[in-house]
Chains A and B, each alone.
Chain A
Amino acid sequence: MMIEARGLVRTFKTKRGPVQAVQGVDLEVADGEIVGFLGPNGAGKTTTMRMLATLIQPTAGTATVAGCDLAKDPVGVRRRIGYVPQSGSTLPEAIAGDEVVDHARLYGVPKAKAIAEGQRLFEELDLPGLWRRQCKTLSGGQRRRLDIVMGLIHDPKLIFLDEPTTGLDPQARANLWEHIRGLRDRGATIFLTTHYLDEADALCDRILVIDHGKIVASGTPENLKQQVSGDAVRLTIADTAQAPAVMKIVRELEGAVEVGTEDDVVGFRIPRGGSVLPTLLRSIDAQGIELHGVEVHRPTLDDVFLTMTGRSLRDEDANPTEEKKEAAA
């Protein structure tokens, strides 16, 4: 097990009294997994990650990270993990290669090896010819990749990525996703936070949904979506008068919910919609009803979040002062 945390709690003192940013988080991450921490701003994602990366101490709870006890051996944890913070990790005025080499040397990597490894990572992460450039002259996507080089320079077995693609344009995001998948292929375990559904969906083997400092759901993107609301199926009927007959057939399907009709469309939700479709279409055909179209939509993680918490992930209605605390800590 790469990460094993039990009952992590973090309380911040504010002028209005203590705020529990993280309220008893248990989590496990296996070797070689990409696990995503999904939640709105202020949900406690970054705070939890900062605790696991030894940057802040838990108010309560225990954790083993990369084989070392978080409380007893934080230096051991630091040696084995790479952490790519949201805020960047290089000075704008500094030379990119110098920052990478100095960072590596703080891990005890000899200078010559740091240069060789750093330049290799520059090639691998698509930063050719930028070794001697000032960090501030790099584009947003390049600086994020430079941050990742900083986090990888000592060859950690566990990598924390805090909101890796925030602020990047779509092309740079897709490009970074490729690189993150590439890291896993090298055998690293990756733990990332995101408030983008598509990111969690595209990258993660497993997702932990966090809201108000608590984990509210966990599983693979597929089974999270299944477990929640099922697929949305829409049947377009040739003759609207036959809608009641179609609805009757649909209601007889096991697990069909939210059955409804609008104009010439009958819609409902059902787990594994693709697999019930053949039976359904045969029954409809047997009654001589003609269909113009069939659509099956897989549920999104937004549906998951909505079902779990009763609100949309896009609302981002979490307390903004809490997020500030999180950033300032």
Chain B
Amino acid sequence: MNVLRETWIVFHRQMRLSLRNPMWSILMLSQPLMYLFLFGPLLKPITAQISQGATTNAYQVFIPGLIVQLGMFGAMFVGFGLIAEYRAGVIEADRVTPASRIALMAGRVLRDVVVLVVQSILLLLAALPLGLRAPWAGVLLSLVIVALLGATFASLSYSVALITKSEDALAPLLNGIAMPLLLLSGILLPMQIGPTWLQRLSDISPLKHVVNGVRALFRGDISSSSSLWGLFWVVLLTVIGLAVGARTFRKESA
């Protein structure tokens, strides 16, 4: 199929560009690594309390939050790269080819997903010597969730970038969304330990359900309602994100 072939060409170009300058991908990983080493140990003495007895392994609680955060924030800012391409005239040059508009987006999103999954695996490996233990199946499913989350946020980020075409507009917009999402999703600490009003408020954030789902997967509760809800929400988010992205890329002035 042509779309797949064109997606591959776009992906290949983007991957080559990322590999030519791997510093950026490495720098992006330094933030979760700092959380892992400098914040993770603080959770050890209170793990049983914050997980409400579900586990005694601090990293089963903390790593799921970190990889969700990586999937979300890592992908959220890819729009900046697209604006750079737009300024250089690359988007215009792409759009004047007969290639499918979907492929132009999908190839870029695919690159972002690959980078994020590799980063997540590195983060998991770094957590192993610290004491992370989790079942294989749960970890693999969690990586799928991170990939879907990355695809969602990358598509949305590209859409906003194409519409605003300005770093000055993109930066405050993304930060304005990122902060409440981070705080209301229980990424650093599970929301269950908070007061009732904060828990209700956090119910609005689909990401909270995704983080809870990944935590359940890391404990091995693959068929628990938490993990199923997490999967449900991430699939729904992905459908919405890709649909918005595809629509923006198809639109004439994008």
Contact = CB atoms under 8 A, between A and B. Distances in A.
B13 A83 contact: no
A90 B88 contact: yes
Nearest to A154: B97
B135 to A, nearest CB: 41
Contact of A85 (B17, B84, B93, B252): B93
Interface stretch (A15-23, A102-110, A122-130, A267-275): A102-110
A79 B98 contact: yes
Nearest to A57: B252
22 contacts: A55-B95, A56-B252, A85-B89, A85-B92, A85-B93, A87-B89, A88-B89, A89-B88, A89-B89, A89-B90, A89-B93, A90-B90, A90-B93, A91-B84, A91-B88, A92-B88, A94-B13, A98-B13, A103-B97, A106-B98, A106-B99, A108-B98
A78 interface: yes
A106 B94 contact: yes
Contacts of A75: 98
Top-7 shortest CB links A-B:
A89-B93, A87-B89, A106-B97, A88-B89, A106-B99, A78-B98, A83-B96
A241 interface: no
Interface string A78-121: 11010101011111111000100011011110000000000000
Contact of B87 (A54, A87, A329): A87
Nearest to B20: A93
B111 interface: no
B112 interface: no
A328 interface: yes
A43 B12 CA distance: 40
A75 B20 CA distance: 32
Interface in B1-56: 6, 9-10, 12-13, 16-17, 20-21
Contacts of A188: none
Interface of B: 6, 9-10, 12-13, 16-17, 20-21, 84-85, 87-90, 92-99, 165, 252-253
B165 A107 contact: no
Contacts of B98: 75, 78-79, 106-108
A54 B17 contact: no
Contacts of B10: 102, 106
B17 A105 contact: no
Nearest to A150: B93
A87 B86 CA distance: 9
Most-contacted residue by chain A among B89, B90, B93, B253 (CB, 10 A): B93
Given A93-B17, A102-B13, A106-B6, A78 B96 contact: yes
A91 B16 contact: no
A66 interface: no
Contacts of B84: 91
Contacts of B16: 98
Nearest to A50: B92
A53 interface: yes
A88 B88 contact: yes
Given A75-B98, A94-B17, 4 more contacts: A85-B92, A90-B89, A90-B93, A91-B90
A75 B3 CA distance: 14
Nearest to A79: B98
A107 B90 CA distance: 15
Contacts of B95: 55
A244 B12 CA distance: 79
A91 B17 contact: yes
A103 B13 CA distance: 10
Nearest to A81: B96
Nearest to A160: B96
B12 to A, nearest CB: 7
Contacts of A79: 98
A328 B254 CA distance: 10
Contacts of A328: 165
Given A57-B252, A90-B88, A91-B17, A103 B93 contact: yes
Nearest to B104: A106
Given A79-B98, A107-B98, A55 B85 contact: no
Interface string A59-87: 00000000000000001001101010101
B96 A54 contact: yes
Contacts of B252: 55-57
Nearest to A135: B88
Contact of A329 (B9, B94, B253): B253
A106 B20 contact: no
A326 B99 CA distance: 24
A106 B88 contact: no
A198 B96 CA distance: 29
B158 to A, nearest CB: 16
A289 to B, nearest CB: 62
B97 A89 contact: no
B92 A93 contact: no
A93 B85 CA distance: 10
A65 B85 CA distance: 28
Contacts of B94: 106
A103 B20 CA distance: 19
A219 B99 CA distance: 36
